[in-house]
Amino acid sequence: MIDMHSHILFGVDDGPKDFDEAIKLLEQATREGITTIIATSHIKHPLYSVDYEVVKEQVECLQETVEERKLPLNLYTGHEVRLTENMLELYEMKQIHTLANSKYLLVELPNNMIPFYTKKLIVSLVGAGITPIIAHPERNRAIIENPKRLEILVREGALSQITAGSLTGQFGRKIQHFSMELVRSNLVHTYGSDVHNLSTRPFLFNQGLKILEKHKEFEAVDYLLGNNEKIVRNERIIPYEPEDIIPKKWRRIFKN
């Protein structure tokens, strides 16, 4: 299985504090059955911004250690890029990592809003051949207030990523319930742990999948995990057809 959103690099953002803690995280990943991790440290975040070369160097360092310890794990570079108007320029200047050197870019919205330029930025990225994947939309207050805001971005060509901990209730029952609504509304396309540490922000990768299975969302599990694999292979993720977004029984959560 592939985890496409993680904070495993040490001493650079709000992930593990040191090398030993990072290795413990990687060991835990293998116990979860994860075979591939994309390291998506923050960049352009108000508190953290991990340089392009630092990401590359640390991923190489950790991969060497993984191989020395014979852990069945492959690591790839990435970034969780805080939304910024010059994002396309940063990509063209090779200052931000796409996911596993693919044409997919993990994009983080501010916690409480969707900036006015978001739609225009998505259109420009898609036009340049880059598919933005919106990280954890289930935790964005503006989307929680009106899920149609996410639908609009998806119809413009963006994808989105649901977080394991959101499905398990780590962020509260409201976000847990809303996460399931987004899954059932066909508005999420990829799945990540957003792991930060072993205590307060662990992987919960399998637990999140079990929640989906408990709710009989077996097709969603296959779809999300399959799309994670497509990211690493740089293959096209086929989103749901427009008529399949928001089944009738879930339209009540969308405000006109």
- pLDDT single digits (tens) 212-245: 999 999 999 999 999 999 999 999 999 887 667 6
- Write down the pTM of the prediction: 0.94
The token duo for 179 is 């996460």
Is pLDDT larger for residue 244 or for residue 110? 110
The number of C-alpha atoms within 13 Å of 54 and in the hemisphere containing its C-beta is 15
Domain boundaries, the chain: 2-253
Count of CB atoms within 10 A of residue 212's CB? 21
Helix or strand run (H / E) with residue 43: strand 36-43
pLDDT tens for 184-210 read 999 999 999 999 999 899 999 999 999
Helix, strand counts (H, E) of the chain: 10, 7
Mean pLDDT of 146-152: 93
Give the DSSP letter string of 173-238.
HHHHHHHHHHHHTT---EEE--B--SSSS---HHHHHHHHHHTT-HHHHHHHHHHHHHHHHTPPP-
Instruction: Return the pLDDT at 240.
Output: 81
Other CB atoms within 10 A of residue 86 CB: 12
Lowest mean pLDDT among 20-24, 75-79, 193-197, 248-252: 248-252
Residue 256 has pLDDT above 60, yes or no: no
State the pLDDT at residue 87: 95
To the nearest 10 degrees (0 to 180), the angle between helices 19-31 and 52-68 is 60
Fold for 2-253, please state it: TIM Barrel (3.20.20)
Rounded to 5 degrees, φ, ψ at 5 are -145, 110
Q: Taking Cα atoms as reference points, which of 148, 33, 39 lies closest to residue 97? A: 39
Number of neighbours of residue 196 by Cβ within 10 angstroms: 19
Query: What is the arithmetic mean of pLDDT over 143-152?
Result: 93
Question: pLDDT of 28-60, one tens digit each?
Answer: 999 999 999 999 999 999 999 999 999 999 999
Q: Report DSSP state, residue 31.
A: H
Nearest one of 88, 90, 97 to 4, comparing CA atoms: 97
Q: State in Å, rounded, how far the first CA of the chain is from the last one.
A: 38
Asked whether the beta carbons of 37 and 8 are under 8 A apart, the reply is yes
pLDDT at 241: 74
Nearest to 130 by CA among 105, 163, 106, 148: 105
Average pLDDT, the chain: 94
pLDDT for 247 equals: 57
